[in-house]
Structure 1
Amino acid sequence: MSKKMLSSMAAMTLLVGALSGCGGGDSSKPQDQAAKPGDTANKEERTLRVMANVIGGKTPEENTQFEQEVKRLTGITVKWEKPSADYDQKMLAAISSGEKFDLLQVSKEKMNILMEQGVLQPLDAQIKASKTLSDPNVLPTGEWEQVKAKDGKIYGVFTKFQGGTMPIIREDWVQKLGLKDPNTLDEYYNVLKAFKEKDPDGNGKADTYGLTFSGKPDLYELQGFFSAAGLKQRYVVQDGKKVVPYATDAAVPVWQWLNKLYKEGIIDPDFVNNDTGKMRNLFLGDRAGMITYWDAWVGTLNSTRLQQDPNTKFQAKGLPGVPGPDGKYMLRRGDPDVWIIPVNAPHPKTAFEFIEWWHSKDGITLGSIGIKDVDYKDNGGKLELTEQGKAHAQDHGTPFWYNKNVPNPFGLLPGVKEAQELVVKYATLEQTPSNWADANKIINTYGIKAITGELPAADAVKKMRDELKAQKLID
């Protein structure tokens, strides 16, 4: 077991002790619906202590301005704590030492761990009573299934719309070479081979690859291809047993297909050393015709090239991957990011009031565009980004949101809407237990060996499966 995992487990044990010894009321009894700003029925002091990972200012100075903007817009005095690194470890350490927070921003994975420890307040009653959060135009009804815990209760409320991953193709290269978007593994092979061999960038040099992705720190992101075999990333439960589909015999043909691309020089041979930044740069720099990444980046990639050259023909486009034997596409949905309220929160009603406000127009504006007169100017209702706002790319923790009543005043970046529609239609969450990091290390190691041909795909899959079993990571 990794030192990081042992550290997290130790912190979690301390956390339970700390919370159980702190006053916070009976967590089995939900709070009343939160009061709105100015509601005298809310007898709590309207102040909050918040710890967040990506939500807030981009710098310590802007974080202070973020606190001031919350105060201006809601009347709530807030202390906004945003560690610069190692968020999960610092959050757990702070709570386990007895510190009290009103709101925490966490992933669904961390929410589930904290819920199992009994240190979170269930929010079902408040959500049901909330005109804001129960409105399907604000938060679609079906989305709540994503954050239901094993006990059927809801302990977290979405901070944003979380997208998914997919193959992203140079659609301008497709059109230039007289091709069509691929839909089967054979069609992907043919298109990617053409990107390698037919000089799609027109520079007369054999310097392009069909596909690149990130191999560091993780082998990332192949779900769109494994969809061809009907295989889901990470864990699934089959006949009551925990299984890693990428480590099953059904995965062998996909690993073999990837190895074929690698042997023929269609995959960037340095993918093992690529982080996501290098991967993106190869795509933006006309070196690779396809990457595998998040839907939001379709728009960012297009916008980046447009800013460099308004007349560019560059066009990134998201694809649904390859349909499986049942004809269905299978993309990956990112774990939801949620607000949670600890059982020992000093101001739980005000915390829930803030969660409701976060999904209002003002809350969404702050979480996306940013701070008035810092990130944007309001000229009689017409918003204009400052240079700082442009640099912050309309992302202060909520680049995309659910609320249909709040349009983006600047519109969506090119290609994002279509990519997000693919996510909503075809992407689902996978199971991510607390020991996933250990399993992922094994999958990465043997997955890379299978792609590069260091081991035959069948042998790599067998070794992958044997090690997962040996470490009791699968049944």
Structure 2
Amino acid sequence: MTRNRKLSGLIVSMAVFLLSACSNPASPSTSGTNDGSASTQNTQQSSDSAAQDTKQTTDPVAEQVKAGKFSPSIELTIGRSTHTGLTFDQGESYDKNSVYDAYEQNLGITLKNMWVVDPAQYDQKVQTSIASNTLPDLMEVNAVQLQQMVNAGEVMDMTDLINKYGSQETKDFFNGNISKKQMGTATFDGKIMAIPFTDSPYNFSWYFYIRKDWLDKLNLPEPKTMQDVENIAKAFVEKQPGGAGKTYGIALTKDLYSDAYGLIPFFNGYHAYPGQWIKDASGKMVYGSIQPEMKTALQHLQDMYNSGLIDPEFSIKDPDKENELVANNQLGIAFGKFWLTSWPLKQAVIKNGKADQVWGTYPLLSADDKPALVQIPLGINGYYAVSKNAKHPEAVIALVNKRVNDMIQQSKGDVPDSEKAFTESASGNGMYSFLQPIVFYNPEDRLNDGKLIPQAILRFFPRIKWPVTTMCSLI
């Protein structure tokens, strides 16, 4: 679940603690001379005093967090939802399973479910918990719920906890180019009030998908403008390259803003940004859905519909149903997120283990000489809020430290077998990863992939022409 919020600040800088020690002044010499013994004695006293101060100021909790294990174990209550694809080994459940056992054995953190509900009931359960102030120590909330908790004074300020118990890797992670902005959405009046469920904004990037084999069949050039897209849709309808009944130009569903076969990139091509607050020419914040550019895009859409370029029954179809037209060679243009080629397009293209259609992938196109801007969220799936009454909030930071360390190890391809206990059952059921109490991702992963994948492809296929537009056959 993606949650959008405006940036409310930046990560709070680390506090600097100053320690001072006082030593007794040297006793005056009655003879007016000093043989050094008093100085030596005072130096020893100062040394002993400093050692005593150090011993007294050592934080045993910080030492345990740094060591990676609490002893004795500490308890952390959580609220969670079930997962439809998760099945348990015999004798295990959401309350007792090998993942929870691994956290207790390896980190000294006993995870206890305060409640477990169906995903459809999760938001309501969270709302009830907030309203009654009967919160688990840790639960995932959305942006609106986090604001409610902050207003009610129910959520714990995490600023000092992160500064005190966060590993250097954790601090570096949340101070990254993108994650710093994401952390800003969880910051209120300079205080970090939650851990953001970070994800890559590039997971939400939009593209145009067009039947490349139909372009070649009709000897049509690849599109460079929004007008080209409309012309291609018209050619597909008039010349029927699918040869399997009525062919339409553009795939569309009853949800105009759907991630699959939705129209967000179409609107963006006309510099319209529905559902988004943007700055106008004067720098004033305005709502994108009611700007003049939106009317222009809707007019083009209406003209295309009246010309038969869009499936006339789109208003009663979901992506799977519209995908039947794609599979039947009746649609040649689609808009969607970068994963559209995995679902639902792949289900229409792959038949008997082979791709019988060739789709080209193209960046957003513009209706004029101004570049089209991609409308994407900041890449936050939610927030992990900690109750103000949590007895061991340091356990949450220990979980965050582990998550960051796991991502670092995974990026190096170095994941020890012992780590499988945190994601897999004894029988090897990898779905146990859904039992993780805290999950977030490196927001720059897709950016890094975009840099490395072309290099890898060119290394092994030096004659390939880049950019590669045909993707379905690569999946």
Are positions 1:371 and 2:412 aligned together? no
**CA positional deviation for 1:208:** 2.9
The verdict on how the C-alpha distance between 1:400 and 1:145 changes in structure 2, with shifts beyond 3 A counting, is: closer
**Match of 1:142?**
178
Distance in 2 between residues matched to 1:48 and 1:185, nearest whole Å: 54
SS at the partner of 1:329?
coil
Distance in 1 between residues matched to 2:223 and 2:65, nearest whole Å: 51
Are positions 1:71 and 2:101 aligned together? yes
| CA deviations over 1:9-65 (Å, ceiling 9, x no partner) | xxxxxxxxxxxxxxxxxxxxxx9979548556x5785332223458x6734747628
CA contact under 8 A between 1:33 and 1:130: conserved in structure 2?
no
Distance in 2 between residues matched to 1:88 and 1:173, nearest whole Å: 45
**CA positional deviation for 1:84:** 3.0
Tell me the amino acid that sits aligned with residue 69 of structure 1. V
Superposition pairs for residues 88-99 of structure 1, below 5 Å? 88-99=123-134
SS at the partner of 1:134?
helix
**Match of 1:327?**
371
**Match of 1:166?**
206
Distance in 1 between residues matched to 2:428 and 2:305, nearest whole Å: 45
CA contact under 8 A between 1:70 and 1:78: conserved in structure 2?
yes
Distance in 1 between residues matched to 2:209 and 2:427, nearest whole Å: 36
RMSD between superposed Cα atoms in Å: 4.5
**Match of 2:334?**
291
CA contact under 8 A between 2:248 and 2:309: conserved in structure 1?
yes
Are positions 1:345 and 2:381 aligned together? no
CA contact under 8 A between 1:164 and 1:295: conserved in structure 2?
yes
Q: Aligned match of 1:265 in 297, 301, 308?
A: 308
Tell me the amino acid that sits aligned with residue 371 of structure 1. E
**CA positional deviation for 1:254:** 0.5
Superposition pairs for residues 108-257 of structure 1, below 5 Å? 108-127=143-162, 129-136=166-173, 140-149=176-185, 151-162=189-200, 163-173=203-213, 176-177=216-217, 178-201=219-242, 204-216=243-255, 221-236=262-277, 238=279, 243-257=286-300
CA contact under 8 A between 2:66 and 2:167: conserved in structure 1?
no
Distance in 2 between residues matched to 1:250 and 1:145, nearest whole Å: 28
Distance in 2 between residues matched to 1:34 and 1:167, nearest whole Å: 49
CA contact under 8 A between 1:224 and 1:320: conserved in structure 2?
no
Name which one, 1 or 2, has greater alpha-carbon Rg: 2
| CA deviations over 1:373-425 (Å, ceiling 9, x no partner) | 5555xxxxxxxx7xx89xx99x99979754869x99xx99xxxxxxxx9xxxx
**CA positional deviation for 1:350:** 0.7
Distance in 1 between residues matched to 2:374 and 2:66, nearest whole Å: 43
Distance in 1 between residues matched to 2:440 and 2:336, nearest whole Å: 16
Tell me the amino acid that sits aligned with residue 97 of structure 1. S
CA contact under 8 A between 2:179 and 2:443: conserved in structure 1?
no
Distance in 2 between residues matched to 1:145 and 1:99, nearest whole Å: 31
Are positions 1:58 and 2:85 aligned together? yes
| CA deviations over 1:143-200 (Å, ceiling 9, x no partner) | 3213413635443334352421524414544554344543422011122233434434
**CA positional deviation for 1:328:** 4.3
**Runs of 4 or more above 6 Å deviation:** 31-34, 217-220, 362-367, 395-400
**Between the two proteins, what is the percent identity of the paired residues?**
17
Normalization by structure 2: what TM-score? 0.61
Tell me the amino acid that sits aligned with residue 192 of structure 1. A
Tell me the amino acid that sits aligned with residue 84 of structure 1. P
The verdict on how the C-alpha distance between 1:401 and 1:218 changes in structure 2, with shifts beyond 3 A counting, is: same
**CA positional deviation for 1:302:** 6.1
Tell me the amino acid that sits aligned with residue 142 of structure 1. I
CA contact under 8 A between 1:210 and 1:267: conserved in structure 2?
yes
SS at the partner of 2:335?
strand
Distance in 1 between residues matched to 2:119 and 2:291, nearest whole Å: 39
**Match of 2:28?**
none
Distance in 2 between residues matched to 1:200 and 1:375, nearest whole Å: 47
CA contact under 8 A between 1:148 and 1:155: conserved in structure 2?
no
Distance in 2 between residues matched to 1:176 and 1:399, nearest whole Å: 43
Normalization by structure 1: what TM-score? 0.61
| CA deviations over 1:436-455 (Å, ceiling 9, x no partner) | xxxxxxxxxxxxxxxxxxxx
Aligned length, in residue pairs: 361
SS at the partner of 2:354?
coil
Distance in 1 between residues matched to 2:197 and 2:226, nearest whole Å: 36
The verdict on how the C-alpha distance between 1:187 and 1:86 changes in structure 2, with shifts beyond 3 A counting, is: farther
Distance in 2 between residues matched to 1:183 and 1:151, nearest whole Å: 46
Tell me the amino acid that sits aligned with residue 145 of structure 1. K
Q: Aligned match of 2:318 in 275, 279, 284?
A: 275
**CA positional deviation for 1:88:** 1.4
**CA positional deviation for 1:89:** 1.5
**Match of 1:46?**
74
SS at the partner of 1:72?
helix
CA contact under 8 A between 2:245 and 2:330: conserved in structure 1?
no
**CA positional deviation for 1:341:** 1.9
Distance in 1 between residues matched to 2:295 and 2:395, nearest whole Å: 53
Tell me the amino acid that sits aligned with residue 135 of structure 1. D
Structure 2 residue runs of 5 or longer lacking an equivalent are: 1-58, 454-466, 468-475
CA contact under 8 A between 1:209 and 1:289: conserved in structure 2?
yes
Structure 1 residue runs of 5 or longer lacking an equivalent are: 1-30, 377-384, 413-420, 422-475
The verdict on how the C-alpha distance between 1:100 and 1:278 changes in structure 2, with shifts beyond 3 A counting, is: same
Distance in 2 between residues matched to 1:357 and 1:57, nearest whole Å: 26
SS at the partner of 1:260?
helix
CA contact under 8 A between 1:233 and 1:332: conserved in structure 2?
no
Distance in 1 between residues matched to 2:311 and 2:425, nearest whole Å: 44
Distance in 2 between residues matched to 1:288 and 1:148, nearest whole Å: 42
Distance in 1 between residues matched to 2:423 and 2:347, nearest whole Å: 20
Tell me the amino acid that sits aligned with residue 259 of structure 1. Q
